[in-house]
Amino acid sequence: MRTDIQNSVLCWLATVDSSGTPNVTPKEIFSSYGDDRIVVADIASTNTVRNIRSHPTVCVSFIDIFRQRGFKVVGSATIIGPEEPDFAIVGADLLRLAGVDFPIRHVISIHMERVSRIWAPSYALFPDRTEEERIQVAYDTYGVVAAG
């Protein structure tokens, strides 16, 4: 999962508000923490933070678009503010990834409760493809060409 997190450009974090209306938005600054947590930076995620405070169950998904696979994680989120000692500890990766240009308002810490793999349909339809072939197909599909 750590490899897939590193290879994922974004994660998508889904929450619900107090009336049950879903909200899903992309977050680029995310990482794992320990063996059982995903952490996400609140830089500009007012609604996500508000929703978690009233309803902590969240779902986060991320994929490596070139390997065409990733994870879906359901868990319970807590909001860690900068005044809390855990902010710098649990958020260490996030602070490094965000750098000084993107101030982190809160660390969103998600305790993983259910983890499932996301596979592109091509894994079932073309099970004999090698990883290199899958990556090449993705390059072709997305128009990615080698630099130089």
Ligand X SMILES: Cc1cc2nc3c(=O)[nH]c(=O)nc-3n(C[C@H](O)[C@H](O)[C@H](O)COP(=O)(O)O)c2cc1C
DSSP state of 83: T
Are 2 and 37 in contact, with CB atoms under 8 Å apart? no
Retrieve residue 116's tokens: 């499932």
Give the residue with the Cβ less far from ligand X, 87 or 134. Answer: 87
Using rule CB under 6 A, residue 41 touches ligand X: yes
Retrieve residue 75's tokens: 């868990």
C-alpha to C-alpha distance for 86 and 91, rounded to whole angstroms: 7
Helix ranges, 56-116 (H):
86-90, 92-98
Using rule CB under 6 A, residue 79 touches ligand X: no
Give the residue with the Cβ less far from ligand X, 26 or 82. Answer: 26
**Which class for 111: exposed (0-12), middle (13-18), buried (19 or more C-beta within 10 A)?**
middle
CB of 24 to ligand X, least distance (A): 8
CB of 108 to ligand X, least distance (A): 8
Q: Which of 4, 28, 84, 93 binds ligand X (CB under 6 A)?
A: 28
DSSP state of 104: -
CB of 144 to ligand X, least distance (A): 18
CB of 31 to ligand X, least distance (A): 11
Using rule CB under 6 A, residue 7 touches ligand X: no
Q: Which residues bind ligand X (CB under 6 A)?
A: 10, 23, 25-29, 41-48
